[in-house]
Amino acid sequence: MEESNMHKNKAADSPVFLVVDVQVDVVAAAYRRDDVVANIAALVDRARAKGIPVVWVRHQNARLRAESPGWQIVPELAPLDGEPIVDKRFGDAFADTDLGEVLERLNADRIVLCGALTENCVRSTFNGALYRGFPVTLITDAHTTVDRRPSGLDYSPANAIAVLNYQAESTTLPGLASQAVSTAEAFTG
């Protein structure tokens, strides 16, 4: 089945909760780190209670070496045995990984997204999911980034988060749209 259409043949309302790169070194200096991790922990608990699959993503590169202490998912969040963990080397969690196959096995028809870093891997995965035909719900208070201010830009973590939240509120593609909701609003139906 073509990857971009794989969710269209699934049962309606089969979300997957995708947790991107909430790793020790990735979020060590992140904006509102403790609040965001607490929100993600609450969402993980709520998703599990509702039988919604949780899929974990971990980044690795030369500075974030696989199996190193900093590469581990933060201790406040513990994947359960059997929950898929996707390891990636690029910003988009779909790029050169088995995420598409994992979502296929889970019969996913939409993605609920959170994680780090907002303007890099969360945004890339948000766009990657949409371009592969998945509606995406971004959790507005469950993604974060660090204060980098690239190229001297006045682009604070709060600005980066606000920009992606706005993108999630306003992005539409043929036949699908994204949305943005808070932790309090997610998985409540």
Place of tokens 């971990």: 58
Inter-residue contact 108 to 115 (CB < 8 Å): no
pLDDT of residue 6: 46
Q: What is the mean pLDDT of residues 108-114?
A: 98
pLDDT of residue 189: 79
pLDDT value at 2 more than 90: no
Structure tokens at 11: 């049962």
Candidates 181, 139, 157; CA nearest to 19 is 139
pLDDT value at 120 more than 70: yes
Q: Which domains does the chain have, with CATH numbers?
A: 3-185 (3.40.50.850)
Give the amino acid at 122.
Answer: V
Sequence-distant (≥ 6) Cβ neighbours of residue 151 within 8 angstroms: none
pLDDT of residue 1: 35
What are 42-53's pLDDT values in tens digits? 999 999 999 999
CA distance 163 to 64: 26
Q: What is the mean pLDDT of residues 107-126?
A: 98
pLDDT of residue 92: 99
What are 5-51's pLDDT values in tens digits? 444 444 458 999 999 999 999 999 999 999 999 999 999 999 999 99
What are 143-182's pLDDT values in tens digits? 999 998 777 777 899 999 999 999 999 999 999 999 999 9
Q: For 153-156, which contacts have Cβ atoms below 8 Å and span 24 or more sequence positions?
A: 155/119, 156/31
**DSSP strand pairing (85-88 vs 172-173):** unpaired
Three-class SS state of 20: strand
Give this prediction's pTM.
Answer: 0.93
CA distance 5 to 10: 10
What are 41-95's pLDDT values in tens digits? 999 999 999 999 999 999 999 999 999 999 999 999 999 999 999 999 999 999 9
pLDDT of residue 10: 44
pLDDT of residue 12: 59
Phi, psi of 62 (to 5 degrees): -60, -35
CA distance 91 to 110: 19
- Written in H, E and C, the secondary structure of 108-131 is CCEEEEEEECHHHHHHHHHHHHHH
